[in-house]
Amino acid sequence: MADDRNSICKERVQSSIEEEYLCPLCYNLLLKPVECNNCQRVFCKQCIDKCLKAKPNLCPFCENYQEKRCSPMFYALLCKLKIECINKPNGCDQVLLYELIEEHETNKCLDQMKQCRGCLKNILKRDLDQHEATCDQIEIQCVKCSLIRKQNSKHDQFDCLSNKQVLLEQKIQQNEEQNKTLINKIQMAVKQLEIHNIENQQKIKQLEIANAESQEMIKCLKNELQWNDKFSKSDFIDELKKQISLSLLIEPFHGDIKTNIPLALLPQWHIIYDQLYSHKTTINEFHALLPKCSVNIIVGAISKNSPTVLSLAACGPKDILSLNTLLNQPFKHDNVYWYLTPTKSFGFSPTSVIKQESPDIVSDQGYKRLSWYLDSYGGYRVGNIINLTTSGDWRKVILSEKV
Ligand SMILES: [Zn+2]
Ligand SMILES: [Zn+2]
Ligand SMILES: [Zn+2]
Ligand SMILES: [Zn+2]
Ligand SMILES: [Zn+2]
């Protein structure tokens, strides 16, 4: 069997040894022994591993391999064996115990062969340092110029300087290339910045336009606010009141019978006839009023309790004061039915149906009916309030437009 670092042939063992100390696979002395738990055979660790790698779990003898450490007793016997150094042919005469032989052969033995780092020749370890100190294949590095050279080659000060120069020139070239790429990068960046700058200026312009527009809007809003301030709410209401009273002036009753009209809403009208309901009105009184009237007149009643309000009133042409209607046949003007029947009664009604039992006594829409006796008693009704012929609480009034 070949004898290498990983095996110990039995010839190197100093005493005669039993078969059981030999590996059944390599027939050398057991090295790092392990045991098959099934058949109790002991192998070199590396030998059985080689087998198991080819056929896993297959013991070459029992076919059912289960590894365990070999017994301490057995190992202790192995350790008592004395073994010659493998380098005996080179001159080593050391004999060592089983446990120490590996350490000696791989590290300590000066008669082992080592390879020169320069010429790669195998040299005895004891001669290696001296050999490498003079071997012309060994490479060294100059500490001044960093040149790596064979240690025996010529390298004087001039060589060193010229090498330094070469290195410097290379470095300069490298730097120039780096500078070129840097300059390129900077130029690219400058270009991009210029593009950004243009874009930003465009944005600024847009913002300036938007700003101007906003300012214009603010101006408009300010103007609107000032206008609103000038034309405040109260002003607006005053204006509305004027408009309302004006419309009332132009057509105060819209051709209808009205209730509860404040006299303040009739600034262009003045009272030309004002008597208590207990007063006995005559046709002659009406005829005497005619010259005081302009175009239209208002006929109505005012309560003592609210003396500034016409409780019930209607508007018509002044001619109604000279009417002469037959009994229960009123005269229609707009939506008002007027009647003036001598010795009977004067008044108005919202419908054509009236019943002059002297005054009109109809109760349908009675709240819009006014009726005064003529030439006999006082006033009869204000709407649904009746039998007022002796009343001092109600006034009969006739108004005319101021000329
Ligand atoms: Zn073996
Ligand atoms: Zn086995
Ligand atoms: Zn040795
Ligand atoms: Zn060498
Ligand atoms: Zn140098």
Q: Point out the ligand nearest to the CA of residue 122.
A: 4
CA 115 to ligand 1 center in whole angstroms: 28
Q: Find the 79 Cα to ligand 2 centroid distance in Å.
A: 24
Ligand nearest to the CA of 106: 3
Q: Are residues 264 and 221 in the same domain?
A: no
Residue 401, SS3? strand
Task: Give residue 47 CA to ligand 1 midpoint distance, Å.
Answer: 5
154 to 142, 158, 238: CA distances (angstroms): 12, 10, 121
Q: How far is residue 317's CA from residue 217's CA, in Å, rounded to a whole number? A: 57
Distance 106 CA to ligand 3 centre (A): 9
On whether both 58 and 105 belong to a single domain, the answer is yes
- Looking at the fold, whether 123 and 104 belong to one and the same domain comes out as no
Ligand nearest to the CA of 57: 2
> Which tens digit of pLDDT belongs to each residue from 274-306?
999 999 999 999 999 999 998 999 999 999 999
Q: Which two tokens stand for residue 10?
A: 């039995």
Taking the centre of ligand 5 as the mean of its atom positions, its distance from the CA of residue 145, in whole angstroms, is 4
Query: Which residues, at least 6 apart from 54, have a Cβ–Cβ distance to it below 8 Å?
Result: none
Q: Cβ(67)–Cβ(36) under 8 Å?
A: yes
Contacts 24+ apart (CB under 8 A), 7-13: 7/31, 7/44, 8/83, 8/101, 12/83, 12/84, 12/86, 13/81, 13/82, 13/83
Residue 235 covered by a domain: no
Indicate whether 133 belongs to any domain: yes
The two structure tokens encoding residue 266: 């009739």
Q: What's the pLDDT at 250?
A: 46
- Residues ≥6 apart with Cβ < 8 Å to 292: 272, 400
**pLDDT of the residue at 243:** 65
The ligand that comes nearest to the alpha carbon of residue 139 is 4
**Res 3: pLDDT:** 42
Classify 38 as helix, strand or coil. Answer: coil
If asked whether residues 395 and 264 sit together in one domain, one would say yes
* Residue 202, domain extent: 166-230
Q: Do 38 and 140 lie in a common domain?
A: no
274 and 390 assigned to the same domain: yes
Ligand 5 mean position, distance from CA 176 (Å)? 25
Q: Which ligand is nearest to the CA of 62?
A: 2
* CA 401/CA 248 separation, integer angstroms: 12
Q: Which residues surround ligand 1, an ion (CB under 5 A)?
A: 23, 25-26, 44, 47
Residue at which a domain ends, from 64, 92, 111? 111
CA 102–ligand 3 middle distance (angstroms): 10
Low-confidence ranges of the chain (pLDDT < 50): 1-3, 250
Is 195 a member of any domain?
yes
Tens digit of each residue's pLDDT (9 = 90 or more) over 360-379: 999 999 999 999 999 999 99
Is 93 in the same domain as 123?
no
**What secondary structure does DSSP assign to 67-120, as a single string?**
EEEPPHHHHHHHHT-EEE-TTGGGT---EEETTTHHHIIIII-TTSEEE-TTT-
Q: Does any domain span residue 161?
A: no
* Measured distance CA(244)–CA(267) in Å, rounded: 12
333 Cβ contact partners less than 8 Å away, ≥ 6 residues apart: 255, 316, 317, 320
257 with 368, same domain?
yes
Give CA separation, 19 vs 16, 51, 85, 118, in Å.
10, 21, 22, 45
Tell me, yes or no, whether 207 lies in a domain.
Answer: yes
340 assigned to some structural domain = yes
Residue 336 is assigned to a structural domain of this protein: yes
Radius of gyration of the chain (CA): 71
When divided into structural domains, the chain yields a total of 4
Separation of 153 CA from ligand 5 center, angstroms? 11
Q: Output the CA 22–ligand 1 centroid distance in Å.
A: 7
- Can you give the pLDDT at residue 16? 86
One domain, residues 209 and 258 = no
Q: Are residues 119 and 90 in the same domain?
A: no
Nearest to 66 by CA among 44, 34, 27, 24: 34
Residue 238: what pLDDT? Answer: 72
Question: How many A from CA of 44 to the centre of ligand 1?
Answer: 4
Nearest bound ligand to the CA of residue 40: 2
Give the closest residue to 318 by CA, choosing from 340, 293, 282, 346.
293
Backbone angles phi, psi at 238, to 5 degrees: -55, -45
Measured in Å, residue 272 CA sits from the centre of ligand 3 at 160
Q: How far is the CA of 277 from the centre of ligand 3 (A)?
A: 161
Ligand 1 centroid to 267 CA: how many Å? Answer: 141
Residue 1 lies in a domain: no
What's the CA-to-centroid distance between 38 and ligand 2, angstroms? 5
- Where among 198, 230, 262 does a domain terminate? 230
Q: Compute the distance from residue 116 Cα to the ligand 5 centre, in Å.
A: 24
Looking at the structure, tell me whether residues 354 and 308 fall in a common domain. Answer: yes
Say yes or no: 374 and 312 in one domain: yes
Q: Cα(111) to centroid of ligand 3, in Å?
A: 6
Rounded Cα gap, residues 318 and 175, in angstroms:
120
